[in-house]
């Protein structure tokens, strides 16, 4: 049986791990290569680097981070943030990433998903989606780190991503992100039901049981968290033990 | 020295990184003489079957691959495993390397999430050297939408995903194939790669 994945995410700026709440109040918390290695030791099924480097010049730094990590961490690595075109995808994969996560750029230029999937294969194109509720069971897609409402219906968008060749959706709820009250189950359920590709739950994990909750209440394939793991409130191993005790298959 | 065949496919550096980490010399190469001289050969691959076969044919590597496969340990990984079979139906019917009997076709179960992406448990069908040192509960990382259809004798290990999905296949001699990515499968994958690297011609 396919195991549910637990994915720690590292927000990286200028080569350093940082963490903010609701995309604001950012502070540095460590070295990404060391953090990734530590997560691997804890049993992480995959590691995501989310690059929030603002300047174009700083972009090369994340590739060095990936290159160094890939020499000592032997689980899949995903890089998101700032990927604008096919060359960015190629450079990121060649640095040692297994997948890229495209977000705002894909909303503004959906063909990026198709081009990426056609050239490199669907398996390495993850579409990151930030969404917010406008009314019960209705959500719209946001870009630029949750700042701009694109007024695009979430369900229409994820279906379009799948058609264009996305291999996976990483769904981040702006409503629950940073609030630490659990994943956004209604939003997650709606997206999982709408597509056949794997969906990663993101935004809102605040305690041990939140991960198992997402797996028991929806058919999501994976759950992602950043701050919980960064601040060592929980280890990946503890989360997996909790899932296992509730009958969920984990590695 | 292990030759890792470079025909422009995907993230092949990961295979080299894993072998470096394990302390085995390897060479990413598209040169026939290096492949011919190697102690063992790895055929990696990510992408589409027809494209990959075209690349192998265009680079003139098919004959040297077929020679290597009967004379020394040979491992296909992911798409590289699928290329070992006689044919595939990915996009179109396309002839493969024909080193193992069988074919490759899409995973079709409408109730399944496709691609089959993530960690799945290895179930042993026939023991082989690649499994030395592995325990009962070993998970490895898969990402694919097509799977192999082969005889029981070629099926060394499988995982359950709707039905049996071949995980490790072989020809009973030098040729092995892994549908999963050993280079991305943590300690379990590294052990499988080490077991392969220790095989002798």
Two tokens, residue A139:
């959500």
CB A92 within 8 A of CB A99: no
Question: Is B78 assigned a catalytic role?
Answer: yes
For the CA atoms of B59, B148, A44, A198, the dihedral, rounded to the nearest 10 degrees, stands at 100
Chain B residues with CB inside 8 Å of A221's CB? 113, 117-118
* Active site residues per annotation of A: 11, 130
Mean of the per-residue pLDDT values of chain A: 93
A194 contacts chain B (CB < 8 A): no
> β-strand B155-161 against B163-170: which pairing, if any?
antiparallel
Whether B120 and A40 lie within 8 Å, measured CB to CB: no
Confidence band for B48, pLDDT divided at 50, 70 and 90: confident
> SS in 3 state form for B47-94?
CCHHHHHHHHHHCCCHHHHHHHHHHCCEEEECHHHHCCEEEECCCCCE
- Tens-digit pLDDT profile for residues B77-115: 999 999 999 999 998 999 999 999 999 999 998 899 999
Burial class of residue A145 in the structure, from the number of CB atoms within 10 Å of its CB (0-12 exposed, 13-18 middle, 19+ buried): middle
Q: How far apart are the first and last CA of chain A?
A: 10
ipTM of this complex prediction, to 2 decimal places: 0.93
- Tens-digit pLDDT profile for residues A210-246: 999 999 999 999 999 998 998 889 999 999 999 999 9
Least confident of A125-139, A161-175, B49-63: B49-63
Which domains, from first to last, does chain A contain? 5-245 (3.20.20.70)
Confidence band for B29, pLDDT divided at 50, 70 and 90: very high
Chain B residues with CB inside 8 Å of A93's CB? 10-11
Strand pairing partners for A28?
Answer: A18
Single out the residue of A33, A100, A101 nearest to residue A73, CA to CA. Answer: A33
Confidence band for A23, pLDDT divided at 50, 70 and 90: low
Predicted confidence at residue A21, as pLDDT, reads 52
3-state secondary structure of B190: helix
- Please give the average per-residue pLDDT across B175-197, as a whole number: 98
List the single best residue of A123, A198, A220, A237 to mutate versus B (max B Cβ within 10 A): A123
Which residue in this structure is represented by tokens 């690595």? A77
Predicted confidence at residue A35, as pLDDT, reads 95
For A37, name the nearest residue in chain B, comparing CA atoms only: B186
For A162, name the nearest residue in chain B, comparing CA atoms only: B114
| CA gap A116, B132 in Å, rounded | 38
Q: Can you give the CATH number for the domain in which B135 is found?
A: 3.40.50.880
A120 contacts chain B (CB < 8 A): yes
Whether B119 and A45 lie within 8 Å, measured CB to CB: yes
**Which domain covers residue B66, as residue numbers?**
2-197
Tally of structural domains, chain B: 1
Confidence band for B182, pLDDT divided at 50, 70 and 90: very high
Inter-chain Cβ pairs, chain A and chain B, closer than 8 A:
101
């Amino acid at each position: 049986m396919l195991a549910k994945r637990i994915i720690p995410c590292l927000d990286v700026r200028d080569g350093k791990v940082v963490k903010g709440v609701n995309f604001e109040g950012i502070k540095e918390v460590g070295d990404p290569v060391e953090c990734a290695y530590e997560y691997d030791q804890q049993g992480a099924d995959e590691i995501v680097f989310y690059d929030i480097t603002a300047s174009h010049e700083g972009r090369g730094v994340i590739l060095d981070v990936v290159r160094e990590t890939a020499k000592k961490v032997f689980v899949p690595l995903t890089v998101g943030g700032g990927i604008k075109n096919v060359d960015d995808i190629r450079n990121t994969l060649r640095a040692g990433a297994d997948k890229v996560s495209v977000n705002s750029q894909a909303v503004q230029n959906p063909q990026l998903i198709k081009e990426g999937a056609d050239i490199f294969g669907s398996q390495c194109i993850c579409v990151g989606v930030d969404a917010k509720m406008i009314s019960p069971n209705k959500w719209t897609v946001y870009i630029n780190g949750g700042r701009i409402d694109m007024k695009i219906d979430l369900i229409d968008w994820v279906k379009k991503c799948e058609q264009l060749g996305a291999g996976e959706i990483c769904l981040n709820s702006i409503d629950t992100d940073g609030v630490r009250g659990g994943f956004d189950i209604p939003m997650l359920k709606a997206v999982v039901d709408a597509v056949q590709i794997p969906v990663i739950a993101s935004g809102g994990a605040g305690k041990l049981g939140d991960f198992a909750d997402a797996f028991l209440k929806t058919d999501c394939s994976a759950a992602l968290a950043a701050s919980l793991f960064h601040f060592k409130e929980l280890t990946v191993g503890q989360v997996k033990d909790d899932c296992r005790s509730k009958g969920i298959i984990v590695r | 020295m292990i030759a890792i065949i470079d025909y422009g496919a995907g993230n092949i550096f990961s295979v080299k990184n894993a072998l470096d980490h394990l302390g085995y010399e390897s060479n990413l190469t598209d040169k026939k003489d290096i492949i011919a001289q190697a102690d063992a050969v790895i055929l990696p691959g990510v992408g589409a079957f027809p494209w990959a076969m075209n690349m192998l044919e265009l680079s003139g590597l098919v004959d040297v691959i077929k020679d290597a496969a009967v004379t020394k340990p040979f491992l296909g990984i992911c798409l590289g495993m699928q290329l070992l079979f006689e044919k595939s139906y990915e996009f179109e019917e396309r002839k493969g390397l024909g080193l193992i009997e069988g074919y490759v076709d899409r995973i079709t179960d409408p109730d399944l999430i496709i691609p089959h992406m993530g960690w799945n448990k290895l179930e042993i069908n026939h023991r082989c050297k690649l499994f030395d040192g592995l325990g009962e509960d070993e998970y490895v990382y898969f990402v694919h939408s097509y799977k192999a259809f082969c005889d029981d004798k070629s099926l060394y290990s499988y995982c359950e995903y709707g039905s049996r999905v071949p995980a490790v296949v072989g020809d009973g001699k030098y040729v092995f194939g892994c549908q999963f990515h050993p280079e991305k499968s943590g300690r379990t994958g590294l052990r499988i790669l080490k077991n392969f690297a220790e095989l002798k011609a």
